[in-house]
Amino acid sequence: MKDDLLRAIEDKAAKVVVLGLGYVGLPVACLFAEAGFPVVGIRRSQDKVDMINQGVCPIEGKEPGLAELVARVVSEGRFRATIEYEACREAHVVLIAVETPVNPVTKKPDYEALRGALTDLGRNLSRGTMVVIESTIAPGTMERVVKPILEETSGLRVSEDFYLVNCPERVMPGKLLANIRECHRVVGGMSPEATGLAVKLYQYVVQADLDPVDCLTAELVKTMENAYRDVQIAFANEMALLCEDLGADVWQVRELVNKSPYRNMHLPGAGVGGHCIPKDPWLLIANAGDGFEPRVIPTARAVNDGMPLHMIDLTVKALCEAGIEISDARVAVLGYAYLENSDDTRNSPSKVLVARLRELGAEVVVHDPYVPGYQGDLQEAVQGRDAVVLMVAHDDYRALDLSELRAQVGHSVLIDGRHIFSAERAQAAGWDYRGVGRG
């Protein structure tokens, strides 16, 4: 079994099927097709499948090279999409790249999409196939969820009849293709044979390290690397709140702290959004038993989730000092994406801020040069406003003429959630400037 698969991989004859053609699955499918493998992508929505089969990339936003690559591999007949799982029957390799969100209330993994993909695959799984989970999953999921579903629905035994591997993706919006090619990856097989076969396969698209490990280690690496970042950001945010309380400037303190060797204090800000940092810490601790009490991870999440609400506090306080009740205020929010110079709004802190401002009765206008629906004229957006709240460090906002902007607004409250304006310059331009981390 192993020799057949190894030969198929080495000859690039291995039929590769990718389940889930989103921002993870589509790029990796195209890269394997570009490498010379015959690739079939499976996605549940027929309209997206039709788009792809016409050589059109359904992913929004700036993804250098992706649209061209989709068009090329489709036109060369190396890649096609379908909604039919039967394509898995002839597959040598099946990559699974479906979403794995966490329940917003329980913070437990929501594996509905993963279970669905595994069940449909299991019914079409042939002996000798290698199954690779690229989705981010809680440590222990391969053993407790993936393996049982595949064995039960296929009647096959893992490591005897088919190979099973966890090879977590490290994609980033805006760098989907580059990250797949250039980021190191862990390759965690259910057996050393599986790990070896997966390393052999991924060498055709990954130009960085492919580190062979076991499944649990692979699951831990991916979720821990993002939890690490979340905790680092939470520390910076807590220091911002401390400096505000003590009347100091966290930005000056941070710069000097980072002059100390081996320090890398992250950036405080208006909140932590995106498709992975807010989610992966919860996946990391999801399967921990009673013997483990998570404290740092939940606390860091609470600190970061609290930052949009802190922006509300800064805004309400400043307006109150100007004699304006929040329920009567007219507020302009600059930035709706979760990240600078991006159109991605997943888990954006701005969503929390805007909803809360409206709950408090404020009349809110949102502007964002990247997000469809919010791209109007900035000067108009701030016209007559009592407060301007900066949530995202888009380059467009960094370049703003604060004097010109001041002339547009009614009252002069400016809340800087990303430290992109100089307090001195803002005050010189007539703004009542308040910034995260500036007491």
Give the residue numbers marked as catalytic: 222, 276
Span interacting with ligand SAJ, options 206-214, 241-249, 266-274, 425-433, rule CB under 6 A: 266-274
Q: Please give the full DSSP string across 28-76, using - where no structure is assigned.
A: HHHHHHHHT--EEEE-S-HHHHHHHHTT-----S--TTHHHHHHHHHHT
Q: Which residue is nearest to ligand SAJ (CB)?
A: 274
C-alpha span between 437 and 236 (Å, rounded) = 9
Binding residue (CB under 6 A) for ligand SAJ from 178, 216, 267, 322: 267
Binding residue (CB under 6 A) for ligand SAJ from 220, 231, 250, 277: 277
Rank residues 127 and 184 by Cβ distance to ligand SAJ and give the closer one: 184
Residue keyed to tokens 């992975």:
276
Burial class (CB in 10 A: 0-12, 13-18, 19+), 388: buried
How is residue 242 written in tokens? 């401390």
Span interacting with ligand SAJ, options 167-175, 208-216, 320-328, 358-366, rule CB under 6 A: 167-175
Query: Binding to ligand SAJ by residue 269, rule CB under 6 A?
Result: yes
Binding residue (CB under 6 A) for ligand SAJ from 154, 166, 223, 226: 226
Binding residue (CB under 6 A) for ligand SAJ from 276, 318, 334, 390: 276
C-alpha span between 387 and 323 (Å, rounded) = 12
Rank residues 259 and 289 by Cβ distance to ligand SAJ and give the closer one: 259
Rank residues 122 and 278 by Cβ distance to ligand SAJ and give the closer one: 278
**Angle formed by the axes of helices 66-75 and 46-53, nearest 10°:** 80
Query: Binding to ligand SAJ by residue 240, rule CB under 6 A?
Result: no
Binding residue (CB under 6 A) for ligand SAJ from 339, 382, 402, 414: 339
Query: Binding to ligand SAJ by residue 274, rule CB under 6 A?
Result: yes
Binding residue (CB under 6 A) for ligand SAJ from 25, 122, 273, 281: 273
- Do 437 and 311 form a contact (C-beta atoms < 8 A)? no
389 pairs with which residues across the strands?
333, 415
Span interacting with ligand SAJ, options 102-110, 268-276, 377-385, 408-416, rule CB under 6 A: 268-276
- Span 172-191, contacts to ligand SAJ by CB under 6 A: 172-173
Nearest C-alpha neighbor of 114 from the set 84, 144, 92? 144
- Do 394 and 369 form a contact (C-beta atoms < 8 A)? yes
Please state the closest distance from residue 114 (CB atom) to ligand SAJ, in A: 17
C-alpha span between 122 and 81 (Å, rounded) = 19
Please state the closest distance from residue 269 (CB atom) to ligand SAJ, in A: 4
Query: Binding to ligand SAJ by residue 437, rule CB under 6 A?
Result: no
**Residue 423: strand, helix, or coil:** helix
Binding residue (CB under 6 A) for ligand SAJ from 117, 131, 146, 272: 272
Span interacting with ligand SAJ, options 19-27, 147-155, 213-221, 261-269, rule CB under 6 A: 261-269
Rank residues 20 and 274 by Cβ distance to ligand SAJ and give the closer one: 274
Burial class (CB in 10 A: 0-12, 13-18, 19+), 192: exposed
C-alpha span between 317 and 326 (Å, rounded) = 9
Query: Binding to ligand SAJ by residue 220, rule CB under 6 A?
Result: no
Rank residues 168 and 189 by Cβ distance to ligand SAJ and give the closer one: 168
Q: Is the dihedral of CA 257, 258, 261, 265 positive or negative?
A: positive
- Per CB under 6 A, residues contacting ligand SAJ are 170-173, 225-226, 229, 233, 266-267, 269, 272-274, 276-277, 338-339
